[in-house]
């Protein structure tokens, strides 16, 4: 059977407000999609009529030796499809890619549960927009091309913190499902199709991470910018492991939300996430990066040990985050021809930052490290820069800035020669500071023209 070639992209994300709070269903996060996208291209591998191959080849050609070959097999008792990395091929890396491997197993297991598809042999190519990674030698200007060869092993690439793993799992899962299933089984342009994709992508991403996270990054990859309230972790606790008895049946129930008592209960409000005309959300890379998982564990441990104090602080932060979303909505409703006053918006951002630093100090976690404080304060002094935050879990990922369009050239010029003045002996030093060529993106998952990626295919 000849299957169609498909290409799908998913946006990056920035959690502008709600870092750590979004882990708790009592709170929400204001998340914006970013127009830096991660792309997945899927096509059938050509074979001669007398040859049958059962191999799936996954390549990430922007990185050195980034190829993974997988075999697959159907397990007994509706256990789904197990995938096994095939090692020893001259072009393949020997290291695992847990996100690719898990997304592939989950996607194939769901396909096996709803159809009798013959998987055959398939080639999958992953391509990332340039700004997902810091790249040495780049100057302070956005990259002139959408895709570049980073010319390093994937393990040595510096992420900029735009949510590459969630975008990858979402686009990868969507592309595999669309390749093997017809429109009656998964229609990504429909509300039900997007919901099913969201559910399976959340399940695969949590399994790859080894924990049930908040899911705001996958929600943004599917739906785009939104105010997000997380799902109850119990919805995924029934799944078990790929290959266990009944896994495919349980996965289908989770994806299609048909379990009688275990229902998806997240809330995704796209209307509440807006950006006023003339204001742009930009990202400033500091070429460092941090481990958000370890930071989250420390913050949650502090919250557990200091419940009353932490609950009060989180309630105060939640109010500030809601104030931020409301102020952005208010400014969006104004007349585009009348200059806006951003003083209130700036004050709200400064208030949120002060409470974030308080939580950072009490939990002894560098949510807004001093070098990031210096950078944010310096950028905020530029006329037209309304304010900024260290988004999400904080640390040394790219900072987020709200900037009036007229101020972008001045910001570029300022960052060209910026260097921190703080003593950095207590933590990592930030590297080359540059403005990424990304901005807010309201849309989520997109179907793409497969021909766009011709230069990266072989």
pLDDT tens by residue, 63-121? 998 999 999 999 999 999 999 999 876 566 678 899 999 999 999 999 999 998 889 89
Instruction: Give pLDDT, residue 140.
Output: 44
Instruction: Give pLDDT, residue 53.
Output: 65
Lookup: tokens for 358: 């308080």
pLDDT digits (tens, 9 = 90+) for 253-309: 999 999 888 899 999 999 999 999 999 999 998 866 555 668 888 999 999 999 999
Rounded to 5 degrees, what angle do the CA atoms 287, 348, 439 make?
40
Q: Of 135, 149, 96, 224, which is closest to residue 437 (Cα–Cα)?
A: 135
Name the stretches of the chain with pLDDT < 70: 1-2, 47-53, 89-93, 135-145, 287-293, 335-339, 421-431
Instruction: Give pLDDT, residue 139.
Output: 44
Distance CA 286, CA 397 (A): 7
Say if CB 306 and CB 361 are below 8 A apart: no
Instruction: Give pLDDT, residue 334.
Output: 74
| HSE toward the beta carbon, residue 147, CA cutoff 13 A | 16
| Beta-sheet pairing, 133-134 with 226-229 | unpaired
Distance CA 435, CA 433 (A): 7
Q: Of 447, 443, 446, 445, which is closest to residue 225 (Cα–Cα)?
A: 443
Say if CB 358 and CB 260 are below 8 A apart: no
Spell out the long-range contacts of 68-74 with Cβ–Cβ below 8 A and sequence spacing 24 or more: 68/92, 68/93, 68/96, 68/97, 68/100, 68/101, 70/101, 70/104, 72/104, 72/108, 72/119, 74/112
């Amino acid at each position: 059977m000849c299957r169609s070639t498909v290409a799908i992209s998913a946006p990056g994300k920035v959690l502008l407000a709600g870092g750590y709070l979004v882990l708790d269903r009592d709170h929400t996060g204001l998340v914006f999609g970013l127009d830096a996208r991660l792309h997945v291209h899927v096509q059938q591998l050509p074979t001669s009529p007398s040859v049958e191959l059962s191999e799936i080849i996954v390549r990430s050609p922007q990185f050195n030796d980034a190829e993974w070959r997988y075999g697959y097999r159907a397990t007994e008792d509706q256990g789904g499809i197990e995938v096994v990395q095939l090692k020893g091929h001259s072009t393949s890396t020997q290291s695992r890619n847990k996100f690719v491997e898990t997304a592939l197993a989950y996607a194939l297991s769901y396909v096996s549960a709803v159809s009798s598809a013959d998987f055959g042999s398939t080639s999958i190519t992953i391509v990332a927009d340039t700004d997902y990674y810091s790249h040495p030698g780049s100057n302070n200007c956005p990259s002139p091309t959408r895709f570049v060869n980073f010319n390093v092993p994937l393990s040595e690439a510096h992420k900029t913190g735009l949510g590459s793993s969630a975008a990858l799992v979402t686009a990868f899962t969507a592309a595999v499902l669309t390749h093997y299933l017809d429109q009656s089984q998964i229609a990504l342009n429909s509300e039900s199709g997007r919901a099913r994709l969201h559910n399976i992508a959340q399940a695969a991403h949590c399994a790859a991470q080894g924990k049930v996270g908040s899911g705001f990054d996958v929600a943004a990859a599917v739906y785009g910018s939104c105010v997000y309230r997380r799902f109850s972790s119990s919805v995924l606790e029934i799944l078990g492991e790929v290959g266990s008895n009944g896994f495919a049946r349980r996965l289908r129930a989770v994806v299609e939300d048909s379990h009688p008592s275990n229902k998806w209960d997240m809330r995704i409000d796209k209307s509440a996430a807006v950006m006023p005309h003339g204001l742009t959300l930009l990202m400033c890379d500091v070429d460092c990066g941090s481990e958000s998982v370890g930071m989250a564990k420390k913050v949650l441990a502090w919250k557990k040990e200091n419940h009353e104090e932490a609950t009060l602080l989180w309630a105060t932060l939640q109010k500030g985050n809601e104030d931020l979303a409301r102020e952005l909505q208010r400014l969006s409703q104004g007349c585009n021809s009348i200059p806006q006053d951003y003083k209130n918006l700036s004050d709200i951002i400064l208030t949120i930052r002060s409470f974030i630093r308080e939580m950072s100090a009490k939990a002894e976690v560098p949510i807004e490290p001093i070098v990031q404080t210096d950078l944010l304060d310096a950028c905020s002094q530029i006329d037209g820069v309304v304010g900024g935050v260290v988004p999400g879990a904080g640390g040394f990922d790219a900072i987020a800035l709200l900037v009036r369009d007229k101020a972008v050239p001045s910001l570029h010029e300022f960052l060209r020669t910026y260097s921190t003045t703080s003593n950095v002996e207590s933590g990592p030093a930030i590297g080359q500071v540059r403005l990424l060529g990304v901005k807010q993106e309201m849309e989520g998952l997109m179907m793409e023209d497969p021909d766009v990626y011709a230069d990266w295919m072989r």
